[in-house]
Structure 1
């Protein structure tokens, strides 16, 4: 799946935390903003977010496929969280919408 396909899939699934802005940062692969205020998913790397999740694209794909648990990724350093941790916890339900 490409990042553009992920954005479309997440938009269709309404995959965002209501009222919050959460950024998925994939390093060299860029970023996606899950904007729960505007109810949209965009490739926005500039708008300030309440929470930023930093993860490699490969690890993200494993998480989205259910092969890598989010908590395991966090504990092993594959997933880093900056900002409000509660938003990151709510993303578990968001990921379930993508399966």
Structure 2
């Protein structure tokens, strides 16, 4: 799955899936198109921006790792522990990332 396809998938998430999430994620994907995007979730509404936004949590990774996480082949926690996924900001908020990217 490309970054563009992942962005489209994120945009189509149902509100009830996001009920426990409130805040903004900022993604930086080396080699991706787009290479950065923000996902803002507030009151079950989701907006995606292809620009820098103030965020609660920033996630940086390469294209291969991102595609693996979104496709379910790569565990986000394992990617973080191996240094392939870098997270800054609110780590509790980061733990909710699976709901956003396709996990449960």
Which of the numbers 70, 76, 94 marks the counterpart of 1:70?
A: 76
Displacement of 1:42: 2.1
Displacement of 1:39: 1.9
TM-score (ref. length: structure 2): 0.79
Equivalence for 2:39: 34
Is residue 2–residue 67 contact of structure 2 (8 Å, CA) maintained in 1?
no
Deviating more after overlay: 64-73 vs 17-26: 17-26
* Structure with greater helix share of residues: 1
Unaligned runs of 5+ in 1: none
Structure 2 CA distance for aligned equivalents of residues 61 and 2 of structure 1: 6
Establish whether residue 95 from structure 1 lines up as the match of residue 101 from structure 2.
Answer: yes
Q: CA RMSD in A?
A: 2.0
- After TM superposition, the runs of 4+ consecutive aligned structure 1 residues lying more than 2 A away are 1-6, 14-19
Structure 1 CA distance for aligned equivalents of residues 60 and 76 of structure 2: 12
Unaligned runs of 5+ in 2: none
Structure 2 CA distance for aligned equivalents of residues 53 and 88 of structure 1: 8
